[in-house]
Structure 1
Amino acid sequence: MDKKLTLSLNEDVIEKAKKYSKQSNTSLSKLIKFKVMVVLLELNDKITELALSDESFNDFEDGFQYYTAIENEIDIIITRNKKDFKNSRLPVLSAKEYLSIKN
């Protein structure tokens, strides 16, 4: 049975992508095509409070990503910095690891 991968991002990631686009002179239309493939998840007060109160994250943005995933019942976290999620209750994979499992 084939499962569809749903890539979920919070709004902060999209804002960083826009900033990156501007700084690197990359076409925003490429980012818009990417947006069609993703579902934006809400970053609400509960997630913000959880992320900011969790001292196990050195980078508060990782806390936002983690608690956004938890609150939205996401199955796994895919990141290039697995060490940032060492206390995760969710499986944490690199993109390479995820693709090797899916293939």
Structure 2
Amino acid sequence: MKVFLDANVIISVLNKEYPLFPISSRVLSLADRREVQLYTSPICLAIAFYFSEKKSGAEIAKLKIEMLSKKISMTTVDQAVSNQALSNRQVQDFEDGLEYYSALGSDCELIVTEDSDGFYYSQIPMMGCEKFLEEYIF
């Protein structure tokens, strides 16, 4: 199963943000399972780096992103993805649109996010970390 992780999930792990951290870290630990392929976009990594840098400093934030990049596959954000996000009138948040269309472009079957309102137009399922673990893992 190909699962796209939104920036808010990654940020919660990198910054150990409670109460989500114990659940979101379990989601990220699935990167070691063969039946689950975790994806994110370079934009999500940039957003996560920004928030991690604010909390831990640039050097530690970079190390965290490097470790994460070894475990998670990257989607592509290119002109086609940009055009899709811009042409869909339902997309209110351009960044969410980029994430959505990059996930679709990588054939992701699910989006894990703590901001499901941002993807209300999604044609693929989306859910929070806890629901994802309950429905697909446990």
Provide the TM-score with structure 1 as the length reference: 0.87
Q: Deviations over 1:9-52 (max 9, x none)?
A: 11111111222222112522223222211011111111000011
5+ residue gaps, structure 1, are: none
Give me the whole-angstrom Cα distance separating, in 2, the residues matched to 1:72 and 1:31. 21
Greater helix fraction, Structure 1 or Structure 2: 2
Partner of 1:95: 129
User: Match for 2:79: what amino acid?
Assistant: D
- Following superposition, the deviation at residue 87 of structure 1 comes to 1.9
Provide the TM-score with structure 2 as the length reference: 0.67
Secondary structure at 2:114 match in 1? coil
Alignment of 1:42-61 (within 5 A): 42-61=76-95
Aligned alpha-carbon RMSD (Å): 1.6
User: Match for 2:84: what amino acid?
Assistant: L
Secondary structure at 2:99 match in 1? helix
Percentage identity across aligned positions?
A: 21
Give me the whole-angstrom Cα distance separating, in 2, the residues matched to 1:81 and 1:47. 20
Partner of 1:75: 109
Residues paired across the two proteins, number: 102
5+ residue gaps, structure 2, are: 1-32
